[in-house]
Amino acid sequence: MRPLLERLAASHPRGHTTLLPPPTHLSLRDSRTLNLALPPPEPVGRAHLAVSRAGIRHEVPLTMERLGPGGARLLTATATLRGPAPDSRPAPDAPDTPDTPGLQLTDGIWRLTLVTTAPEGRVRRRGFPLSPEPAPPNETPLLPHAPDPSTGALIRLVRCPGGRAALQVDRPSPHAELLRFEPRPDGAVLHGRLIGAPPHGWQAEAVRRRDGAKAPAQLTWQGSEFTILLPLDGMLAAGPGQWVWGFRLLRPGHGRAHRELPLARRLTDVRDPAAAFPAPFRVCALPYGALARIRPHFTGSGAFAVTCLELTESR
């Protein structure tokens, strides 16, 4: 409900604010890089893009460029955006530093306004529209929006009532992101990162999808990143046959303090992770002599799983 109300507020003109014609180019990539190009509405001495919300304001200088010899002139800008940090809430008006370049945006709706200063000094502030685009077919391999792979925040261009372009920033929800699967001769190690929650008090376990049987796993931390040692011994001891196991981080507690985060790949624009990240079967030799065949894979929703089968006779 709040994003809708903020879109309504962002669409209302303030003072003499009016909408310009649609820009020549307006795009946002990976929730991080905003690109804008639009023709100057009148003779301009200088101009900038204002990105504002709730009394917070960022300014991005616009540069005048010409499209080839004798071509049209365009005001252009490229800005790096940074959404809310996954494990903290920094001051939104904190200055940029070399370690955190770009515009720091809190979650919510941010207005986009072209501010121009004429040669005689007159200042004008106007929004510009976001043209509605046809929905891409489901057969395309990529999603129309992708979260920032470093923070998990999702920033996208949205169309307010009345057509005005704005940015919608969504804070990442807590989840366990798989970074990579490392096969070893005697098993495998899962590398991941905890997003949106402090790395304290967590346990790891494998969960058999058929019946919920569990196998505790060794979990180690380095900052917000973690490694899980694939608990092959416990997975094979749960019973004969080929089974699919999922993995999760677990923080025991009562009520809302209890959390379970499935290990998955969410920070991607891939529509079908199961088809995009295939992996072959691998054979592992356990220390006591057993052989196991494993195959890591993703489900259609991005959840990580391992298919496991013991190849030797039961112990």
Count how many domains the chain has. Answer: 2
Whether residues 183 and 158 fall in one domain = no
What average pLDDT score do residues 91-97 get? Answer: 41
Whether residues 181 and 164 fall in one domain = no
pLDDT at 17 over 70: no
**202 inside domain:** yes
Whether residues 125 and 211 fall in one domain = no
pLDDT of residue 231: 96
Give 111 or 253, the one with higher predicted confidence.
Answer: 111
Whether residues 44 and 162 fall in one domain = yes
Domain that holds residue 239: 175-310
Whether residues 28 and 69 fall in one domain = yes
pLDDT at 256 over 90: no
Whether residues 128 and 102 fall in one domain = yes
User: In three state form, how does the secondary structure of the chain look?
Assistant: CHHHHHHHHHHCCCCCCCECCCCCEEEEECCCEEEEEECCCCCCCEEEEEEEECCEEEEEECEEEECCCCCCEEEEEEEEEECCCCCCCCCCCCCCECCECCEECCCEEEEEEEEEECCCCCEEEEECECCCCCCCCCCCCECCCCCCCCCCCEEEEEECCCCEEEEEEECCCCEEEEEEEEEECCEEEEEEEEECCCCCCCEEEEEECCCCCEEEEEEEEECCEEEEECCHHHHHHCCCCCEEEEEEEEECCCHHHCEEEEEECCCCCECCHHHHCCCCCEEEECCCCCEEEEEEEECCCCEEEEEEEECCCCC
**231 inside domain:** yes
**315 inside domain:** no
pLDDT at 98 over 50: no
Give 255 or 229, the one with higher predicted confidence.
Answer: 229
pLDDT of residue 88: 44
Whether residues 188 and 141 fall in one domain = no
Domain closes at, from 170, 195, 228 = 170
pLDDT at 257 over 80: no
Whether residues 163 and 181 fall in one domain = no
* pLDDT band per the 50, 70, 90 thresholds, residue 87: low
Whether residues 158 and 191 fall in one domain = no
Whether residues 128 and 276 fall in one domain = no
Domain closes at, from 155, 170, 185 = 170
pLDDT of residue 94: 40
CATH number of the domain encompassing residue 282: 2.60.40
* pLDDT band per the 50, 70, 90 thresholds, residue 138: low
pLDDT at 56 over 80: yes
Domain closes at, from 141, 170, 199 = 170
**187 inside domain:** yes
Task: Convert the pLDDT of each residue in 154-208 to its tens digit.
Answer: 999 999 988 999 999 999 889 999 999 999 999 999 999 999 889 989 999 999 9
Whether residues 89 and 149 fall in one domain = yes
Most confident of 16-20, 98-102, 302-306: 302-306
* pLDDT band per the 50, 70, 90 thresholds, residue 134: low
Whether residues 10 and 155 fall in one domain = yes
**222 inside domain:** yes
What average pLDDT score do residues 269-298 get? Answer: 90
Share of the chain above pLDDT 90, in %: 62
